[in-house]
Structure 1
């Protein structure tokens, strides 16, 4: 499932989208009024979901058409590869489907081009049905409004090695929860192990700055702001960890796979993961498996990071009531819960995470991770700015590396990263 971001390609979408582009109605005469009769033919586009969930979506569509006899939903599914380019071509050519599966970074250029329906105006009555953080996931800096119904969510807990915590004289039942606690524990871990055990294996990302409480953009959405005093403090602390070997020396080139191997061998004390990792630990590292701890992501804001997928309504659709009704139907509590039981995702609807499926731990690896993640999602937010592209991420990572290596001060590194991101933002 397409959980990874496509922000760089989304920027390309923005470059080719004319502001006058229109969707299903070629004359651009679609209405934003969703209060009329639910009827008409609409097209629903998903993102690489047909192969594994054909019967599920056919059932949802049949239920909708039964509820609204005057409707017909045509379902199309696009492959993951080239999906942003497909959206770009459809938007520019006036063939954008009525209801579209999007991620926040993909909805941003469509909203700026006037092609995404503002749900705060057209579907505000549904807002209370969703988690506040999820509803806000498809809001775009610089624009007022919400441009997609929140659909499925994802997040990941943090694994830690209780044996390593005990060996360092730390309480294995009290893992760090804030960044300040993390920094203190990491330095102690490195000191007690003579630099042989790092607590972390990855450099800070934009999500870390968000979870630390750093403002990531200005209120107007016209520039980035993570080079403020708090951002500099965070990077300075990571530099301290790097020098003490509390941050793995190979963190500058780490991948999820390499970080996972470090955790598996006991060279790293904490690492994000999933239920699949628990199975791997059980098979390949039984000692680690017996001592595994599961905790929330580190955050100094009290809110963990979530990844959110959405369902957008084309503002140029000729059948606004039907398109809004269907987008809401796909993402309502009943259908989200049904979908969540077919794949390892979480519903964005209020109250759904209180279901026993997400709260009752039967001792299996799957439920241990699922219940931990579900608990943290209730007040989670999407920290990655919808306008922060993959190219911007690369610029930040390069500057962070220079700071950790002592080639630049943390302040200079973040100033350079913000300047580069702002240039890319203006180009987009």
Structure 2
């Protein structure tokens, strides 16, 4: 499987709701957190749709671990992408959860609440310093203490912008917007100069935008959402102004990544997220656009861009905790993350790895151009999407944004209603 930013975004959207009463006490314990002792015994390792393209990599990885730790035997299980959350839920309820499991933050949350995910702050806290702070924090659960998976691979994406459209609007193409205030000013100016024919953005704000704007998304206890505060309302009001001025594409309410990409391709939109693959398409299909492409970081007013993170969780009830923890760390250590990153378009979560020449030196290719830009921003990136924010909640927020932009509700009313709906869904999850 080619792992892209969009794939990770979709993967991180999978939601699992476990029958918690069948799984544990819900206190995050689920057994001893002591992972000391001899590294030995049989363990199972489950990945998420990776066998087809990376069979050799994982077979070599397992063989290396078993050689390093005589007396261990790792059985590798790979599950298809479809139904992965359901499979984890069934295994958790049936007591057949593997010893080491590939998870995203939203998948680990109910497992941690059910006491099935090992708290690595207690069991393996000595490894925390090996990882980027934002990545290690990616598998923490609101309302709980602890970290419940080793960070594995990361992804993010820079923004593309059309330099010629910026210049035509009298904007400095060498200094694209970096903050939301910069973005709103530039977007209104571009819409005015083009009589509404050129929008700057093709997408409505998502929960990640609220996070990057500095809006508190949840309370610390993880019991309620808070994105309807004054700052959240301010952001939505700004987008309403853009929408009315046609600085936000009129079709943004129903936009998909594909439709947004097409708008950028035809130069109807000045900025859009993308990947090296998109650059290759521009080179073939729109050479005039391609020669005017600029690459910049995601817009953020917090100083930190958004990242997607995958993790490796240890089953708290594993009978071979020392081996399970050792293997999970082995899979995610700097050496093995770097080797995996060179096989697929992802980034390591280990401290210092993004300073490798592979992520800092350009060679003139589109793939490297995008990789270098993304890697630089990942050093201080965070995962803004709350681990408890489900697909249904995303739909509620999107619908609320649409009502506000269309003038059917005020920004405050729309967000108040979205928070009420999301809080209700949150209670149903519990």
Question: TM-score normalised to the size of structure 2?
Answer: 0.96
2:296 maps to which residue?
Answer: 295
Q: 2:8 aligns with which of 3, 13, 21?
A: 3
Q: CA deviation at 1:19?
A: 3.6
**1:75-123 deviations in Å (ceiling 9; x for gaps):** 0000000000000110000000000000000000000000000000000
Larger CA deviation: 30-39 vs 374-383:
30-39
1:44 aligns with 2:45: yes
**Counterpart position of 2:195:** 194
Shift of 1:6: 5.6
Q: Distance in 2 between matches of 1:334 and 1:117?
A: 24
- For 1:110 and 1:8, locate their aligned partners in 2 and report how far apart those are by CA, in whole Å: 16
Is 2:314 aligned against 1:313?
yes
Deviations 1:158-195 (A, max 9, x none): 00000000000000000000000000000000000000
Q: Could you tell me how far apart the structure 1 residues matched to 2:313 and 2:361 are?
A: 33
Distance in structure 2 (CA, Å) of the matches to 1:6 and 1:273: 18
Deviation at 1:203, TM superposition (A): 0.2
Structure 1 equivalent of residue 131 of structure 2: 130
CA contact (8 A) 1:107 1:312 kept: yes
Q: Contact 1:16 / 1:88 at 8 angstroms: preserved in 2?
A: no
Provide, for residues 123-160 of structure 1, a one-character-per-residue CA deviation record: whole Å limited to 9, x for no partner.
Answer: 00000000000000000001100000000000000000
Write the distance in 1 (CA, Å) between the matches of 2:21 and 2:399.
30
**Is the aligned partner of 1:20 residue 2:21?**
no
Report the counterpart of residue 25 of structure 1 in structure 2.
none
Matched, 1:83 2:88: no
Partner of 1:161: 162
Q: Secondary structure at the match of 1:3?
A: helix
Q: Output the CA distance in 2 between the equivalents of 1:86 and 1:71.
A: 26
The verdict on how the C-alpha distance between 1:371 and 1:29 changes in structure 2, with shifts beyond 3 A counting, is: closer
1:33 touches 1:122 (CA, 8 Å); kept in 2?
yes
Tell me, yes or no, if the aligned pair for 1:130 and 1:150 is still in contact at 8 Å.
yes
Are the counterparts in 2 of residues 160 and 270 from structure 1 also a CA contact under 8 Å?
yes
Moved more, 32-41 or 266-275: 32-41
Deviation by residue 1:189-211 (Cα, 9 ceiling, x = unmatched): 00000000000000000000000
Contact 1:104 1:386 (C-alpha < 8 Å) held by counterparts: yes
1:16 Cα deviation from its structure 2 partner? 5.7
Distance in 2 (CA, whole Å) between partners of 1:7 and 1:355 is 27
Instruction: Say if 1:173 and 1:212 are closer, same or farther in 2 by CA, change over 3 A.
Output: same
Which structure 2 residues correspond to residues 3-402 of structure 1 after superposition, within 5 A? 3-5=8-10, 10-11=15-16, 13-15=17-19, 18-20=22-24, 31-402=32-403
What is the deviation of 1:4?
Answer: 3.3
Q: CA deviation digits over 1:346-394, x for unaligned, max 9? A: 0000000000000001111010000000000000000000000000000
Aligned-pair CA distance for 1:18:
2.0
Does the 8 A contact of 1:7 with 1:389 survive in 2?
A: no
> CA offsets, 1:320-348, max 9 Å, x none?
10000000000000000000000000000
For residue 406 of structure 1, give the secondary structure of its aligned residue in structure 2: coil
| Contact persistence 2:30–2:316 (CA under 8 A) | no
| Cα separation, 2, equivalents of 1:229 and 1:404 | 17
Indicate if the aligned counterparts of 1:160 and 1:292 stay in contact, CA closer than 8 A: yes
* 1:291, distance to aligned residue in structure 2 (A): 0.2
Q: CA distance change for structure 1 residues 416 and 164 in 2, over 3 Å: closer, same or farther? A: same
TM-score normalised by structure 1 residue count: 0.97
Question: Which residue of 2 is the match for residue 403 of structure 1?
Answer: 404
Measure the CA separation in 2 of the matches of 1:303 and 1:15.
Answer: 36
Q: Tell me, yes or no, if the aligned pair for 2:18 and 2:93 is still in contact at 8 Å.
A: no
Counterparts of 1:14 and 1:221, CA distance in 2: 17
Secondary structure (helix, strand or coil) at the match of 2:347 reads coil
Q: Which runs of 5+ in 2 are unaligned?
A: none
Aligned partners of 1:199 and 1:247 also within 8 Å: yes
Count how many residue pairs are aligned between Structure 1 and Structure 2.
422
Question: Is this contact kept in 2: 1:9–1:85, CA < 8 A?
Answer: no
